[in-house]
Structure 1
Amino acid sequence: MPTILAFGDSNTHGTQPMVTRPSALPRLARRWPVVMAETLGWDLLEEGLPGRTFAFPDPEKGPHMDGRLGLFVALESHGPIDALTIMLGINDLKAHFDASPDQIAAGCAFHLDVALSDEMQALHGGFEPFLIVPPAPHAAGVLSEIYTGAAEKARRTRELMRAEAEARDVAFFDADEVISVSAIDGVHFDAEAHEILGAAVARFVMSEFAAP
């Protein structure tokens, strides 16, 4: 049975839309990677860390939020895998990072290069990476101040991330085409969105594996 590794942040972890900060709500049992793997009939490895970024240590949450470190750890501690999904970028849009779309896209490119490297491909006997761009966040609720200006920046970031994927011939899925973030906090997905995204990503992954 094929194995797929889901690497991401709180939306991969299954964090529910937040009405307080910090949230006391448990993570969703049917988060999108679980739905995806169930639909595919594949084994699932989950590496969703709330607060994870493409390339920034967080002054509040710690240096381990830098996904560049986390991806090496995940790929070297699991396996072999047949596929990898990477869905990051929302946390990089936080106002306190003041990151440009180009900087965020560069962090994305680093992740793709690690996944495609001879070392990592050999370690797993070859695997297919998939880049999932999350839906654009917006300032709302208890996270409003943190995500001021994020919606506008996200549009340009999405275009640049797509370009990085296309330059490396990596399959690209735009989650904004099937779901939106919750209006409650402007960042996280509700239960229905997780179901929709998981099924959509499963179809996308299967179509890529079936392609000649």
Structure 2
Amino acid sequence: MSTILCYGDSNTWGATPQPRRGDFGRFAADVRWPGVLRAHLGAGHTVIEEGLNGRTTCIEDPVEGYHKSGTAHLIVALESHQPLDLVIIMLGTNDLKARFAMQPVDVGFGMGKLAEIALRSPFGPNGTAPEVLLVAPAPFAKLSWFEEMFTGGTEKSRHLAAEIAINAREKGVHFFDAGSVISSSDNDGIHLEADAHATLGKALADQVRSILAKG
């Protein structure tokens, strides 16, 4: 039996694309990528969803609230669901909101901080640290009403994978580029369509099997 925590933002929570402000919805549990991951891994694996709309890697949002900082609450999630064999972290999209003025290198460091929190924790098997997989979110597509909120973010989003990969290597954790297998929806530019969830969940299942086999 293995236990896997999926820690992310609205694309882990399963928000549907929002072509217009107020078009808010959530995909069913079996459509969201953690649910697809669970289905592909099969019996003997527990997959826990910990997605929060608007979550950043390390920033307290002055508009949406202090609780949006990923570093503030990762340790709570780790301790709540211990023992964990693997923590999958997919964040970085919300860091690119214009009000934060973050650069891709900063987002990479933010993901590195999250990896450190997990690696320093005793919430893996037998009081050890869990394995960590950092997932770079797919680059932005054509932004809808989010364009003003994410001014300048489209170009920055294309450099996140490289920066997150550097931090994963430096921390000695696993890395996967979601943009290598999926694209963000052109219906709003940042969220995923159902088929992208399906593709990502299947691709991550392959990654998880490999990580757990080595462990």
TM-score category (smaller protein) = over 0.9
**TM-score, normalised to structure 2's length?**
0.92
Question: What are the within-5 Å matches in structure 2 for residues 109-128 of structure 1?
Answer: 109-121=112-124, 124-128=127-131
Rounded to whole Å, the distance in 2 between the matches of 1:24 and 1:109 is 31
Pick aligned residue for 2:103 from 100, 105, 119: 100
Kept in 1, the 8 Å contact 2:143–2:188? The answer is: yes
Q: In structure 2, give the amino acid aligned to 1:202.
A: A
Question: What are the within-5 Å matches in structure 2 for residues 1-212 of structure 1?
Answer: 1-29=1-29, 30-41=31-42, 42-121=45-124, 124-138=127-141, 140-211=143-214
Kept in 2, the 8 Å contact 1:6–1:47? The answer is: yes
Q: In structure 2, give the amino acid aligned to 1:110.
A: K
Number of equivalent positions = 212
Rounded to whole Å, the distance in 1 between the matches of 2:25 and 2:175 is 31
Any idea what the Cα deviations from partners look like across 1:81-128, whole Å, max 9, x if unmatched? 111100000000111111122221221111010111154447754421
Kindly report the root-mean-square deviation, in angstroms, between the aligned alpha carbons of the 2 structures. Answer: 1.8
Rounded to whole Å, the distance in 2 between the matches of 1:38 and 1:138 is 28
* 2:102 aligned counterpart, secondary structure: coil
For residue 50 of structure 1, report the CA deviation from its aligned partner: 0.5
Structure 2 segments unaligned to the other structure (5+ residues): none
For residue 22 of structure 1, report the CA deviation from its aligned partner: 3.0
Q: In structure 2, give the amino acid aligned to 1:183.
A: D
Rounded to whole Å, the distance in 2 between the matches of 1:26 and 1:161 is 27
Structure 1 segments unaligned to the other structure (5+ residues): none
Q: In structure 2, give the amino acid aligned to 1:39.
A: H
For residue 32 of structure 1, report the CA deviation from its aligned partner: 0.2
Larger deviation, residues 167-176 vs 24-33: 24-33
Kept in 1, the 8 Å contact 2:16–2:24? The answer is: no
